[in-house]
Amino acid sequence: MPDMSRQADPSVELLVAGPADHQAVGRFSVATRGPGLHDVTREVATLLEAGGAGDGLATLFVRHTSASLTIQENASPEVLHDLVDALDRLAPRDAGWRHDVEGPDDMPAHVKTMLTGASVSVPVLGGRLALGTWQAIYLVEHRDRPHRRDLVLHFAGSASEPG
């Protein structure tokens, strides 16, 4: 265990130290209905519990190039709509994209995924995601038509305490 007696800042707190001797990998799918954000926090929490997660790091990965993941506010639905609008402004359909074989929404979807990312990592403490009060994990669908999106979760850390 590191020596925290030399800690200069009292706001710094070591929560866990030790080997990562437990891992769990799981997957799930989400059916989307077009552009928007889909809260997948519950599915991630369910897999962490089923995998016996204690303290560690959970990494969620979406196996697609036209959908992405993000951590965002979960209190106001307006935030989610505004985020979709902002991404549309950043990667508009009419930007003269060369890649258009899959439709006018495809290349903007790839750009939006590049901007937001295909994975997120969240610390896990006591088997629970260490998200903030107003945070949730979202799958972001960037295409117009419905899709089934596949996600993979990897947890590395310690096993949950029995009891």
How does residue 8 score in pLDDT terms, banded at 50, 70 and 90? low
Give the pLDDT of residue 122: 98
pTM for the model: 0.91
Residue 6 predicted with pLDDT over 70: no
Distance, CA of 122 to CA of 159 (rounded, Å): 16
How many of the other CB atoms lie within 10 Å of CB of 91?
19
Give the pLDDT of residue 10: 80
Distance, CA of 111 to CA of 133 (rounded, Å): 30
- In terms of Cβ atoms closer than 10 Å to its own Cβ (0-12, 13-18, 19+), residue 146 is exposed
Q: Average pLDDT for residues 27-32, to the nearest whole number? A: 98
- Residue boundaries of the structural domains of the chain: 32-157
**How many Cα atoms sit within 13 Å of 159 on the Cβ side?**
5
Give the pLDDT of residue 11: 86
Residue 1 predicted with pLDDT over 80: no
**Average pLDDT over the chain, rounded to whole?**
94
Give pLDDT tens digits for 124-160.
999 999 999 999 999 999 999 999 999 999 999 999 9
Distance, CA of 30 to CA of 69 (rounded, Å): 12
Give me the residue label for tokens 């897999």. Answer: 47
Question: Does the domain at residues 32-157 carry the CATH identifier 2.60.120.460?
Answer: yes
Residue 62 predicted with pLDDT over 80: yes
Give pLDDT tens digits for 84-100.
999 999 999 999 999 98
